[in-house]
Amino acid sequence: MWRDLAKNYKGQMRRVFRNIRLQREQAGIRQSELKMQFLEFLHTSDGKQAILDEFVKNFNSFSDEYPDLREDDQTKEELHQRTDSLSDELWEIVEERKEMAIEFRKKIMESGFVEFNLEFLTQIA
């Protein structure tokens, strides 16, 4: 009877440890997938650089064509207004990107992955 009990105990422990290793492996895979998704999200272009490049190109083009107007007060005022508009446009993009990041994080947090793993671990034993 003692041998049967010990054999049964060893078999159950092997099954439990095998399931824990499997769960750990699957959690690592899922974590790696989340990291890759997050890196992909971070590397997604938001268009700010293209807008800034276009502004600089237009500014330099204007300066090359009309160098004398750069000292004019109305021209300075117009350039400042364009700079403010550029700033506002870039901030809108930043805020939109922030909202996307919050949604991405919320989606990860609400995926139930952690809860599923905890439930699985408690059911193993």
Per-domain boundaries in the chain = 2-124
Percent residues over pLDDT 90 in the chain: 59
CA distance 40 to 101: 12
Query: Which residue would you say has higher pLDDT here, 50 or 123?
Result: 50
Q: Is the pLDDT of residue 10 over 90?
A: yes
- 79 contact partners, CB below 8 Å, separation of at least 6: 59
In terms of residues, how long is the chain? 125
Question: What is the predicted pLDDT for the residue at 68?
Answer: 87
Q: Is the pLDDT of residue 54 over 90?
A: yes
Question: What is the predicted pLDDT for the residue at 88?
Answer: 97
Kindly report the average pLDDT of the chain as a whole number.
90
Question: What is the predicted pLDDT for the residue at 9?
Answer: 93
